[in-house]
């Protein structure tokens, strides 16, 4: 009888990893936009999204780690 082990979802195949990576990229990009770009309406919207995501990001990061 052959036994098979279930596939583990670790590394880059995990959707938590991808979610955290994309969120951190977004945080970095919007942080640079706030610092270096002219403060236009798109940047102001980015500040709001940056703040909301920054408040919510510790939850998936803590879960992933």
20-42, pLDDT tens digit by residue? 889 899 999 999 998 998 989 98
The pLDDT, as a whole number, for residue 26 is 93
Instruction: Output the CA angle 36-40-33, nearest 5 degrees.
Output: 30
User: What is the residue extent of each domain of the chain?
Assistant: 38-65
- Tell me what pLDDT residue 36 has: 93
**Proportion of the chain above pLDDT 90, given as a percent:** 34
- What's the sign of the alpha-carbon dihedral 15, 18, 21, 25? negative
Phi-psi sector, 38: left (phi>0), alpha (psi -120 to 50), beta: beta
């Amino acid at each position: 009888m052959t036994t098979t082990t279930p596939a583990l979802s670790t590394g880059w195949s995990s959707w938590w990893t991808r979610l955290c990576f994309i969120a951190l990229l977004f945080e970095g990009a919007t942080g640079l936009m706030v610092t270096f770009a002219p403060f236009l309406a798109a940047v102001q919207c980015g500040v709001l999204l940056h703040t909301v995501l920054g408040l919510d990001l510790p939850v998936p990061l803590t879960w992933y780690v």
